[in-house]
Amino acid sequence: MTFEPTAESAAEPTTPGAEYCAVSRQPLVSLAFVAPLLAVYETGVLALGPKAVRNGVDVWLRGLLEWLDFGNYFLLPVLVVGILLGWHHTTRQPWRVPRGVLWGMAAECVVLAFCLRGLSQLAALGLQACLGSVFGESPTAALSPAASASLAKMIAFLGAGVYEELLFRLILLSGAVWVARRAGLHDAMALAAAVVAISAVFAAAHYVGPYGEAILWRDFGFWYGLIFRFLAGVFFSVLFAVRGFGIAAGAHAGYDILVKFL
């Protein structure tokens, strides 16, 4: 995969912090970290039945698999596991998950979720300063979550963390970097171009299909949502490139849950 050093090329960590950062980026450790999120989401969707709130990307990916005549319900989570195991195999890193690293990743994701929440507040204030006179709406109104989160929505947030990061970061961002490199861009420019492009796709995807939000050109909330989701896409892309899939997925799920309470 694009962003993971191999065992031969990676420098040996010299401090506990450096060792944690290196180990927590490994695909096998990412799998161990997101597996509980994936299990709770899939079990919750099955248990809730018609009352379940499915993540849009989950629906898209399952629809694609059904179109390809791979309609087994459990195929998608199995593919997630298979992709991460295959990725780890290509890195030639040890097949072990060190004790305690998952707790550190959970704490890191909570901190990152709060950081993204702060970014959302700054984005609303900045947009209000630029466009508030046009729309006449306060940033508080645009940021206010719609009532308390139900159990079904909480479960859906876990699916968003895993499946949206799978599609937009692990698959599309990695693919876009590969294409940009083949087009002649050096590594830094290829990554920057891919981050911008895929973050724009990530933002726009929230307004596509039956699960998408309404496009209201004259509404402050629409423009705030579009711009902030682009910034969130950049945030998660950088996390994926620097900290790996597990941290990106955990921070994404953590933010979605956090925003319903604060």
Say if residues 114 and 250 touch (Cβ distance below 8 Å).
no
Q: Write the DSSP assignment of 140-157 as a string of letters.
A: HHHH--SSPPPHHHHHHH
In a domain, 55, yes or no: yes
In a domain, 8, yes or no: no
Alpha carbon 149 to chain centroid, angstroms: 20
Report the pLDDT value the prediction gives residue 18, as an integer from 0 to 100: 87
More confident residue, 194 or 99: 194
In the numeric block, the tokens 């060792």 are attached to 19
Q: How many domains does the chain have?
A: 1
Radius of gyration of the chain (CA): 19
Q: Residue 65 pLDDT more than 90? A: no
In a domain, 96, yes or no: no
Report the pLDDT value the prediction gives residue 7, as an integer from 0 to 100: 46
In a domain, 81, yes or no: yes
Report the pLDDT value the prediction gives residue 149, as an integer from 0 to 100: 53
Report the pLDDT value the prediction gives residue 200, as an integer from 0 to 100: 97
In a domain, 9, yes or no: no
Residue 221: CB partners within 8 Å, gap ≥ 6? Answer: 137, 141, 142
pLDDT band of residue 61 (cuts 50, 70, 90) is: confident
In the numeric block, the tokens 């399952």 are attached to 62
More confident residue, 219 or 18: 18
In a domain, 54, yes or no: yes
Q: State pTM to two decimals.
A: 0.86
More confident residue, 102 or 70: 102
152-192: pLDDT as tens digits: 778 888 888 899 999 999 999 999 999 999 999 999 999 99
Report the pLDDT value the prediction gives residue 234, as an integer from 0 to 100: 97
In a domain, 174, yes or no: yes
More confident residue, 33 or 222: 33
> Under DSSP, is residue 166 helix (H, G, I), strand (E, B) or coil?
helix
In a domain, 3, yes or no: no
Q: Residue 142 pLDDT more than 60? A: no
Q: What is the rounded average pLDDT for all residues in the chain?
A: 85
Q: Residue 112 pLDDT more than 90? A: yes
Report the pLDDT value the prediction gives residue 197, as an integer from 0 to 100: 97
172 is in which domain, residue-wise?
A: 16-89+104-258
Tokens of 143: 């940021």
Residue 188: CB partners within 8 Å, gap ≥ 6? Answer: none
Q: How far is CA 103 from CA 24, 82, 159, 160, 252, in A?
A: 10, 24, 20, 21, 17
